[in-house]
Amino acid sequence: MIIHANVFIYLIALAAALILGLVLRLPLLPNKPIRHSWTISAVFPTAVLAVGFYAMVYELGYQGYIVALITGIITALFSKFILEKLVPVPQKDGEEESSHE
Amino acid sequence: MYLDFVNLTTISAALALIGTVGIIALPKPLDKVIMFALLQGGFVGMIVAAKYLDVAMAAAIFDPIATIILLIGIIKINEVRKKNQESQEDGNLA
Amino acid sequence: MLIEILGIIVVLMALRTLVAQNRSERLLYLNVIGFSMSAIIGLYIQTPFGAIIAITFFVTSTLSSNAIAYSLGRVKEEIMVK
Amino acid sequence: MNEILGIAIAAVICWVNFVLIDTWMGLPEGPGVKGADVIGRSVQKRGGDLAGGFFQGNIVCSPDASAGTLLAAIGCYAIGIPEGGLIAAVLVYFGNRLCADPGYAGTTGALSITVIIFLTSFIGFKTEYFIVGMVIAILTIQGIYHPGASRLLGKIAHKMGRHTKLT
């Protein structure tokens, strides 16, 4: 078998982040023209970030169901409270530029 | 075979040399900045070829900072020169 | 075999960058060089830290390309001092 | 499998993957950042198509599905088959947000090429082939003849209903 990790653990991390994100009132999907919207929703950044962070923790040597659960919970809290301050929406910059000219 | 001659060290050296020639030969400042970005790629490649990986990480992070400082200087000096030219033409008209 | 193909692509694109006429054409060739240099770094260092270095190098070179393209629109024509 | 043949097939797979995802995510519709506008107009002035020019400019100015494809292939080669692609998806997302882009195209490209690498590893494709194939695919778009490539991309965008409305 070429695949090394157990796929089931990734599903646990994804589901934990998804459910806690919905409990924290993140919207399920972004606003309707999806490819232009900037909202942080439960599916797009949160689930992807949860799987990616669990992959990082897995490579660092901590493996198991409980680690996956904790990673999902921390990712949901991170994307609810910190992510908007870490990567702000650059709309202000564009408006300032257009008004500047 | 000549293909033995192509490895990471010689590629990075060729990239850095081409970037140097471009910086010296091209006249306009923004062309010089583009060739400087090319030289940075060769520089990081040379460090990686010697396997100093931590130095390569630091060099890769600090590259765009140097480029952005150069670009801010170019934009500012261009505005100053444009203002200077306009005021000179006004003086000629008066 | 793999690094040789990428190396020939890199040197060819560097020469085309040097002799190109238009300035935004130069930027497109520079993008190809960013892609292939990070591919060579990933192929040469076959450890996880090599992959992290390749990803960091690619993202930072894209950032500097972004800054150059923005100031290309800002500076329409440069005024040179004779 | 023969090495040259494998690289050629991998290049075709990567080309189809990133062009379809980038077009679907609306790269030819308009310039996401200001620098892409300059590059698109310059390509149009040299005899190309405006939508294809915006496509090329957006690839230069922020890491899109092309970058996601390359970096996920490198991650799968150096770290491991599923984990490297997922780590690359997270890093590409942060790189996208640094370059003022929503970041849908990069993560979608990284995840889809991870699935493709996992499926094709059963029939003998090595992961290195996808790295070299991605560089060859980006060479055909950005490195050989820009007006011709932009006209081809404009035709694909027209067929998928994503052609630009700007003039």
Kindly state the average pLDDT of the residues B28-57: 91
Q: CA geometry: angle at C39 spanning C45 and C28, to 5°?
A: 150
Tokens 């904790």, located at residue: A70
Domain range for B89: 2-93
Residues 77-96 of D with CB under 8 A from C: 77-79, 84, 88, 91-92, 95
Instruction: List the single range of A20-29, A31-40, D23-32, D60-69 with lowest mean pLDDT.
Output: A31-40
ipTM of the complex: 0.89
What mean pLDDT comes out for the span A48-63?
A: 89
Q: Supply the DSSP string of chain B, one letter for each residue.
A: -GGGG-SHHHHHHHHHHHHHHHHHH--SHHHHHHHHHHHHHHHHHHHHHTT-HHHHHHHHHHHHHHHHHHHHHHHHHHHHHHHHHHHHHHHHH-
Of C25, C45, C68, Cβ closest to residue D146: C25
Q: Which residues in chain B have Cβ-Cβ distances shorter than 8 Å to C58?
A: none
Predicted structure pTM score: 0.90
Count of the separate structural domains present in chain C: 1
D131 closest CB neighbour out of C27, C39, C73 = C39
Average pLDDT over chain D, rounded to whole? 88
DSSP 8-state secondary structure symbol assigned to residue A54: H
Closest of A88, A74, A95 to residue A40, by C-alpha: A88
pLDDT at A98: 43
Residue A64 lies inside a defined structural domain of this protein = yes
Q: What's the domain range around C68?
A: 2-81
Confidence of residue D143 (pLDDT cuts 50, 70, 90): confident
What pLDDT does D76 receive?
92
DSSP sequence for chain D = --HHHHHHHHHHHHHHHHHHHHHHTTGGGS-SSHHHHHHHHHHHHTT--HHHHHHHHHHHHS--HHHHHHHHHHHHHHT-HHHHHHHHHHHHHHHHHHTT---HHHHHHHHHHHHHHHHHGGGT--HHHHHHHHHHHHHHHHTS-HHHHHHHHHHHHHHTT------
Are residues B35 and B23 in contact, defined by beta-carbon separation less than 8 angstroms? yes
Contact B68 C7 (CB under 8 A): no
Please indicate whether, in this complex, the C-beta atoms of A93 and D122 are within 8 angstroms of each other: no
Asked if A50 and A76 touch (Cβ cutoff 8 Å), the reply is: yes
CATH of the domain at C26: 1.10.287
Q: Is the pLDDT of residue A101 over 50?
A: no
Which range of residues forms the domain containing residue A75? 5-30+39-86
Going by pLDDT thresholds of 50, 70 and 90, the confidence category of residue A95 is very low
Using a pLDDT cut of 70, give the percent of chain B over it. Answer: 99
Over the stretch C3-44, which tens digit does the pLDDT of each residue have?
A: 888 899 999 999 998 998 888 888 889 999 999 999 999 999
Highest mean pLDDT among B2-11, B13-22, C72-81, D101-110: B13-22
Into how many domains does chain A fold? 1
